[in-house]
Structure 1
Amino acid sequence: MIDILKSITQSNRSLAILIDPEKMDMDAISAFAKAITSTITALQNELNIDQLFFFVGGSTMENVPFNSWMKILRESTNLPIVIFPGSHNQLSEHAHGLLFTNLLSGRNPDYLIEQQFLAAQKLKNTNLEILPTGYLLIDGGKETAVQNISKTQPLHQSDVMSIVNHAFTAQLMGNLLVYLEAGSGAIYPVSITIVQEVSQQLKIPVIVGGGLRTIEQIEDTYRAGAKMVVIGTAIEQDIKWNG
């Protein structure tokens, strides 16, 4: 049994590859998992990565048979798979874990309690490792799918103390992780200053994603205190990507 939280907490550097099932047909999953092996191995060596994960999720996923999609991925990889859900419908026992997210950067009750309530009813007897996660959407220079779907505004990068206080609130509420998210395809990632300030204030691991496209950006994010970095768009654009 994989202890995901322990792996993230005890490792110096974890890396997650984010896959959106809406952008990948089921008949392409096995080939993708095989092709990406050399890419993530190169990243692991260059960045001294301790742990590798697949994150799976998307903002809508209205026409994706999610459980069937997850089954194929589980059969195609030995990496731990963590669901990063956009709604209570994105659940599957074919994963190893689930980020049980609270969108604390916004004030929409549907993403503060309603989606969590609906998901909880399905998770009473789950074998998934549940990871309560304070999720903060940070302005990455463009409107994101999360912003559009959740009807919430991102936190401005210039207001560092507000972001720090939101993150600290997440910790006080009992979350085991904090996720700083600039959004898929962000023009610019979460600033190093924000990552540093949040990491110094918290006792729980900090995850950073969105807009990270180069080795230098990822390296700087780790050095600023992130325990885990999530990349998605860079991999989608070029499976041989190496920064």
Structure 2
Amino acid sequence: MRETLKNIEQSGRSLAILIDPEKMKLDAVAAFAETIPTTILFLQKNLHIDQFFFFVGGSTMENTNFDRWVKKLKQNTPIPVVIFPGSCDQLSENADALLFLHLISGRNTDYLIDQQVNAAKQLKETALEIIPTGYVLIDGGKETAVQRISKTLPLPQNKVENIINHAYAAQLMGNQLVYLEAGSGAKKSVSVDIVRKVSDQINVPLIVGGGLRTMSQIEAVYEAGAKMVVIGTAIEENINWNG
């Protein structure tokens, strides 16, 4: 059943909290799951969120048992867990869904097709809901882990038409979501103008993440047409973050 994509499509506003397992030890997961509902209730009330998700993944996963980590989170929360993978090694049957990412803004074949082929070998019998997702890396004012690991350059924010074309190409290639990402810890988020123009061009749900640290920023992104917003750094820095 394709519940995750269906819920994103049908909700007015979805929000995903991004967690990097390398930044949260396994024995801290239960305490996090117990504490985060206060933040979720605040966001739900003030931003009128219909649906929450956890996105789990990171650029590397060298010192973490990814499957055990995902299983631990699922055991401690009713919120759907979606894998946001940094590589084909970040897979787990304990999650609810997987964003099958296509780094359409890059030109490194490893992230255009090689990682996807290696993942496909492991997903032939999976029960995971797989959601093809066009991933567009946008310049957020600093070098991000995605840029370093993928060895690809982000798209400049002053080249708006180029960003629109990448997003539309992602849709034409059959992706069911388009994700505009400024990167973890970005100094500047994807501009509202870009979000609006991309949203006007595509007819699949638009996800926006990176550099969103205030309620007003998030509200503006929703108003511009994003179906889902992803926050990570703000939560990492303060688990009781309220914008």
TM-score, normalised with respect to structure 2: 0.99
Work out whether residues 58 and 85 of structure 1, in 8 Å CA contact, stay in contact via their aligned partners in 2.
yes
5 Å matches for 1:118-137?
Answer: 118-137=118-137
Residue type matched to 2:111 in 1?
Answer: Y
Query: Identity of paired residues, percent?
Result: 67
1: CA distance, partners of 2:63 / 2:241: 29
Query: What is the aligned-residue RMSD (CA, Å)?
Result: 0.7
1: CA distance, partners of 2:16 / 2:177: 14
Q: Structure 1 residue 154 and structure 2 residue 154: aligned?
A: yes
2: CA distance, partners of 1:164 / 1:187: 22
Residue type matched to 1:158 in 2?
Answer: N
Which residue in 1 is equivalent to 2:103? 103
Q: Which string of whole-angstrom CA distances, capped at 9 and with x for unpartnered residues, describes residues 1-43 of structure 1? A: 6600110001110000000000000000000011011011110
Which residue in 1 is equivalent to 2:56? 56
1: CA distance, partners of 2:178 / 2:166: 10
2: CA distance, partners of 1:120 / 1:32: 32
1: CA distance, partners of 2:71 / 2:57: 14
Q: Which string of whole-angstrom CA distances, capped at 9 and with x for unpartnered residues, describes residues 55-83 of structure 1? A: 00000111111111111001010000000
Which residue in 2 is equivalent to 1:207? 207
5 Å matches for 1:1-243?
Answer: 3-243=3-243
Work out whether residues 19 and 56 of structure 1, in 8 Å CA contact, stay in contact via their aligned partners in 2.
yes
1: CA distance, partners of 2:2 / 2:129: 9
Residue type matched to 1:76 in 2?
Answer: N
SS of 1:17's partner is strand
- Pairwise CA distance, 1:111: 0.1
- Pairwise CA distance, 1:155: 0.1
1: CA distance, partners of 2:116 / 2:17: 24
2: CA distance, partners of 1:133 / 1:50: 21
Residue type matched to 1:64 in 2?
Answer: T
2: CA distance, partners of 1:56 / 1:69: 9
Work out whether residues 54 and 79 of structure 1, in 8 Å CA contact, stay in contact via their aligned partners in 2.
yes
Moved over 4 A (4+): none
Residue type matched to 2:89 in 1?
Answer: N
Work out whether residues 181 and 190 of structure 1, in 8 Å CA contact, stay in contact via their aligned partners in 2.
yes
Work out whether residues 195 and 226 of structure 1, in 8 Å CA contact, stay in contact via their aligned partners in 2.
yes
Residue type matched to 2:58 in 1?
Answer: G
1: CA distance, partners of 2:62 / 2:135: 22
Residue segments in structure 1 that go unaligned for 5+ positions in a row: none
1: CA distance, partners of 2:56 / 2:2: 17
SS of 2:101's partner is strand
2: CA distance, partners of 1:197 / 1:2: 28
Aligned length: 243
SS of 1:121's partner is helix
SS of 1:240's partner is coil
Q: Which string of whole-angstrom CA distances, capped at 9 and with x for unpartnered residues, describes residues 81-120 of structure 1? A: 0000000000001100000000000100000000000001
